[in-house]
Structure 1
Amino acid sequence: MTDLLDTYIENRERVQPTDANNYGTAHGGNVTKWMDEVGALSAMRFAGETCVTASIDQMDFERPIPVGETTVIRSYVYEAGRTSVKVNLEAYREEPRSGERKKTTESYFVFVAVDEEGKPQEVPELTAETERAERLRRKALDGRDD
């Protein structure tokens, strides 16, 4: 069994002009890519196997991330099926000098654990051993529309 907090990953990307749209803010496709990469890391840490993206549930872009700011991606596994791994992902814009953050994007990704031949593999049971882990799990489950 793997605990939810073992899957918690936070990563940063500095928004460069090459990451931006014509409005000088991070292109939504880049934010989605960064979220997918970090989400896969959480899923793989949980499953102990390679994990591939199976679905992305609505991407809610709440505010832009200007060039020069940092994109912080927060990711953790909140639920698991037989071979599937559900990951909560949030992106924040962070002012690099002050560290001030504002949430910009939220989504839920589903990954599937696979072997070297791409065949689905069973994943372990997810636990939430601490109050913080249970709070994160409940937040993700409560935030789902389905």
Structure 2
Amino acid sequence: MASISETHMENRERIQPNDTNNYGSAHGGNIMHWMDEIGAMSAMRHAGDTCVTAHVSDLDFRRPVPQGDTCVISAYAYATGESSIRVRIQAFHENPRTGEREQTTDAYFVFVAVDEEGTPVAVPDLDVETDECETLRNAALSGENSD
């Protein structure tokens, strides 16, 4: 049984000209792609199997990530079903020189663990072993489907 903290991971992407839209900020499709990738890795860390995207909800773009800044994607699993893993994923823009960070995007993804034939497989329960894990899980659960 994995814990929430063991599924927590981050990735960074430097926003280059090819990553931008007409307004000089990261294209939303690129951010979604990066969120999907890190979310799947978080889910796979828990499941120990390949995980595929089944559902995306509450994908909110709050502010842009300017060209030249770094897009930091943070993800962690916070709940499981029989074969599904719910993952909270957040994006931030980060100044690469100062490390100052501001949240830009928030989303909730559901991944399903599958075997080599693509058939859903059972996943273990998610362990909430520390107060920090409990705080992360509660933050994700309270933010799901909220406006």
TM-score by length of 2: 0.98
| Aligned mates of 2:142, 2:58 — CA distance in 1 | 15
Identity in percent: 56
Q: Deviations over 1:51-102 (max 9, x none)?
A: 0000100210000001100000000000000000000000000000000000
Instruction: State the partner residue of 1:68.
Output: 68
RMSD (Å) for aligned C-alpha atoms: 0.7
Whole-Å Cα distance in 1 between the matches of residues 137 and 10 of structure 2? 16
Q: In structure 1, what is the Cα distance between the partners aligned to 2:59 and 2:97? A: 28
How many residue pairs were aligned? 146
Instruction: List gaps (5 residues or longer) in structure 2.
Output: none
Q: Structure 1 residue 33: deviation in Å?
A: 0.2
Would you say the 8 A contact 2:57–2:145 is kept in 1?
Answer: no
Q: In the alignment, which residue of structure 2 is the partner of 1:95?
A: 95
Aligned to 1:124: 124
* Off by >6 Å, runs of 4+ in structure 1: none
The answer to whether the 8 Å contact 2:40/2:53 transfers is yes
Deviation at 1:144, TM superposition (A): 1.0
Corresponding residue for 2:85? 85
The C-alpha deviation readout for 1:94-124, integer Å capped at 9, x for no partner, is: 0000000000000000000000100000000
